[in-house]
Amino acid sequence: MSKLFAHLLTSKPGTGQLVTRPVPSDLCGLSYREIARRAIRRGVPFVVCGFVREGGHAKGRVIVVNPRVNTDPGKDSILVSGDELILLCCCNPDVASLR
pLDDT for position 41: 96
**What's 17-57 look like in SS3?**
EEEEEECCHHHCCCEHHHHHHHHHHHCCCEEEEEEEEECCC
Parent domain of 64: 2-98
pLDDT for position 90: 86
pLDDT for position 56: 64
Q: Which tens digits make up the pLDDT trace of 10-67?
A: 777 777 888 999 999 999 999 999 999 999 999 999 999 999 998 766 678 899 999 9
Strands in 17-22's sheet, in edge-to-edge order, are 17-22, 84-89, 46-54, 61-65
Is pLDDT above 80 for 83? yes
Number of domains in the chain: 1
pLDDT for position 58: 66
pLDDT for position 10: 75
Enter the pTM of the model: 0.87
Question: What CATH number has the domain bearing residue 20?
Answer: 3.30.70.1450
